Amino acid sequence: MRLVWTLALLALLASAALAGPPITLESLLDEMVDRARLARWPDPAYTCRQASSYDRSSVSPDDEGWYANWDRSHFVRTEERDGRTEHVLMDAEGPGALVRFWATWHGPRGQPFSNGTLRVYLDGGAAPTIEGPIADVIDGGLLAGPPLSQGVSPLTDHARRGHNLYLPIPYAKRCKVTYATPAFIDTGGKTGEALYYQINYRTYEKGTAVETFRRDRLAALAPKLARLQHRLALSGPTEEAGLPSAALDGPIAPGESRSVTITGPAAIRELTVALRADDLPQALRSTVLEIAFDGRRTVWCPVGDFFGIGYQFRQYRTWYTQVLTDGSMSAYWVMPFAESCRLTLHNLADTPVTVTLGRARYSPWQWDDRSMHFHATWRQYTKAATGIRKTQEKRDGARDVNYVAVTGRGVYVGDTLVLFNGADGWWGEGDEKIYVDGETFPSHFGTGTEDYYGYAWCRPEFFCAPFHAQPEGGGNLAAGFSVNDRYRALDAIPFTKGLTFDMELWHWRDTRVTYAPATFWYARPGASWNVEPDAASAAAKVARQREDVLDGVRTEAEALKMVEKTGGQAEVQQVPAFIFSGGAQLWWKDATAGDRLVLEFPAANAGRYKVWAAMTKAPDYGIAALRVNGQPAGRFDRYHAEVACDVLPLGVFDLKEGPNRLAVEIAGANPKAAQRHMVGLDYLMLEPVPAAP
């Protein structure tokens, strides 16, 4: 009997400990701005999952539908309620909390977006706790103002931007989110209204006390919300002045390093670096930050990537990072250690760099069995080939690239993606896929790379907010440089066994990109990961122009000299940049079989080249036979049910310095094609063929 009573008492004590102070809207707001909370294993423990409109054709990596791209208007189910149809976006058992809501939308073709009604039902209630037009709920101020509720990349069309809500919505038993609209919703991209969404939510252990969200609490918490939003917008350190600091100032010669050691137990609260160099972009990439906590290296990352700007200096601010016009770059991750911390800056470039400001401010830390070390990894996929677009539904060349894979116990807290785009077209159609604790299907399956980073529709505009930013987007729709940041607070992802983060590389063009993700996470001692230091890539010359990531030299077809045309009309056609390089193509139309078009294209030097041609295909395009300097260069049937563009190999040819000739002859048309015998040429690319040894 004594044993029975003892077990019962232990169970009661465990239940009371689990319940603890209740999770409330107030406690979640406090947690959001407590950076130190991330550095300890969560208590109470929770999982973080995502509900989204990802294309349900994506079932398995072994199936061709894995890269399906109609990531819109897919729902958990539909329900009939009070004479209306409600599409269920999320339905999760509690206790839990909705911690991030991103969405974007557009209406049926030719019609304005109807701005349907979003409803949030809590704890099985028949009436919604939150109800209103979706734009008002997420970023129109119905619940909160900026930055907790904020859109990015505002355009004339209010709908075509990313809408973000970070106000937490706690619930004790259940949360169901629905959407209703009088417009027709479809998933095929043809006529209906489209809704894209991602909802991140926590689920606490059973028995955790959670106080369910009430709308009337917002008015009572208005002063607290105002202070919190002001604090989030300011970023910067939270500690008072006077904390001790360790310095890393001074010159670093090529191939040399500067280091400093701090004795623990303590935690870095602010890390600031400013560099001076003749080539600052190269220095931002080739100056690498390494940190070893308690004798083990856990951080290895180029400084520009670590501070969220890559290798182009841009002023911006988030809750965890800040870059100012004075050249200083700061990070406010709390980084604890039990015994020691050694910080090192390595100069991997072939020219000197000077650290004009290198400072780590730190404070005492009580190391315990929940404390975790901070980690940062960086890897680069250099000149990664993107493949060829076929249709919106099917893709050749799309693939998942790995950000990081971690084994151990920890919490994932963010990442930065720095890339140089080799083509005038959108690079980020792919979805994030995050596997937690051995999942065979990702519990986070996204709707597009820009959606993951908080914006939408490939927009190139600068923006920054506490938890997402685009310091530079010039490479989004044109060849060039872009950098995206996503940092986590309440939507941090705990893992007990491991985490794998893959991002789908899905480009609208057949080109090459240099694609470099940095990841940020905490873990208990003993964790392992799959990304090793890559000094060669960090030291390599950074890409500054299109040719730096391409294997060949590209010439736009619309700029070529026309030397002969036997029939039809040839003109420059202006088209969307996401389809054609430079937003234009050379368009030859209404010729007949046997007609010939001859163009001159330049080669900078005489030699052997592999010649590529980017050519259009469409329902009214013909069969084209090509010749380069009189030599056969392929016969291509350009009929296709949709407008698309392929990059086609024409062969290897001996070219002379200066003008060479490309001849295009109409060789007929596919029986399915409208008989207009069109030919579209976007660009030529010349790839030098190395001489045989």
Q: Where are the alpha helices (DSSP H) in 241-308?
A: 280-286, 303-306
CA–CA dist 234, 253 (Å, integer): 36
The segment(s) of the chain belonging to CATH 2.60.120.1390 are: 25-234, 245-548
What are the structure tokens assigned to 466, written together? 């506490």
Of 163-172, 365-374, 502-511, the poorest mean pLDDT is in: 502-511
For 413, the enclosing helix (H) or strand (E) is strand 410-421
CA–CA dist 118, 136 (Å, integer): 9
Has residue 488 got a pLDDT over 60? Answer: yes
pLDDT bracket for residue 161 (50, 70, 90): confident
Q: Where are the alpha helices (DSSP H) in 221-279?
A: 222-234
CB 175 within 8 A of CB 90: yes
What are the angstrom distances between the C-alpha of 95 and each of 42, 76, 300, 382, 443?
15, 20, 38, 44, 18
Written as one letter, the residue type at 518 is A
Look at the alpha carbons of 117, 160, 391, 543 in this order and tell me if their dihedral is positive or negative.
Answer: negative
What are the structure tokens assigned to 377, written together? 């990894």
Output the pLDDT for position 147. 93
Has residue 274 got a pLDDT over 70? Answer: yes
Output the pLDDT for position 235. 86
Residue 227 CB neighbour total at 10 angstroms? 12
Encode pLDDT of 69-112 as tens digits.
Answer: 999 999 999 999 999 999 999 999 999 999 999 999 887 765 65
Output the pLDDT for position 26. 98
**For residue 688, cis peptide bond before it (omega within 30 degrees of 0):** no
Give all strands (DSSP E) within 4-73, no chain letters: 46-52
Angle between helices 222-234 and 25-32 (to 10 degrees): 20
CB 354 within 8 A of CB 277: yes
Output the pLDDT for position 47. 98
Closest CA to 513 of 616, 398, 614, 377: 398
Q: 3-state class of 2 per DSSP? A: helix
Stretch 162-178: mean pLDDT, rounded? 97
The DSSP symbol for 618 reads B
CB 265 within 8 A of CB 363: no
Q: Does domain 553-688 have CATH number 3.40.50.10260?
A: no
**By percentage, how much of the chain surpasses pLDDT 70?**
92
Encode pLDDT of 122-147 as tens digits.
Answer: 999 999 999 999 999 998 899 999 99
Closest CA to 160 of 385, 455, 438: 455
What is the pLDDT of the chain when averaged over all its residues?
Answer: 91
Output the pLDDT for position 691. 74
CATH superfamily for domain 245-548 = Protein of unknown function DUF2961 (2.60.120.1390)
Q: What is the pTM of this model?
A: 0.84
pLDDT bracket for residue 13 (50, 70, 90): very low
Output the pLDDT for position 577. 54
pLDDT bracket for residue 153 (50, 70, 90): low
Closest CA to 556 of 663, 420, 423: 423
CB 38 within 8 A of CB 520: no
pLDDT bracket for residue 207 (50, 70, 90): very high
* Topology of the domain comprising 25-234: Jelly Rolls (2.60.120)
Output the pLDDT for position 239. 65
What are the structure tokens assigned to 225, written together? 């919300």
CA–CA dist 626, 628 (Å, integer): 7
The DSSP symbol for 493 reads E
Output the pLDDT for position 583. 81
CA–CA dist 23, 554 (Å, integer): 58
Encode pLDDT of 541-569 as tens digits.
Answer: 999 987 788 777 889 999 999 999 999 99
CA–CA dist 161, 584 (Å, integer): 26
Has residue 3 got a pLDDT over 60? Answer: no
Encode pLDDT of 446-475 as tens digits.
Answer: 999 999 999 999 999 999 999 999 999 999
Stretch 37-44: mean pLDDT, rounded? 98
Stretch 419-448: mean pLDDT, rounded? 95
More confident residue, 253 or 158: 253
Stretch 203-212: mean pLDDT, rounded? 97
For 470, the enclosing helix (H) or strand (E) is strand 468-472
CA–CA dist 15, 200 (Å, integer): 27
Encode pLDDT of 344-402 as tens digits.
Answer: 999 999 999 999 999 999 999 999 999 999 999 999 999 998 875 444 444 456 889 99
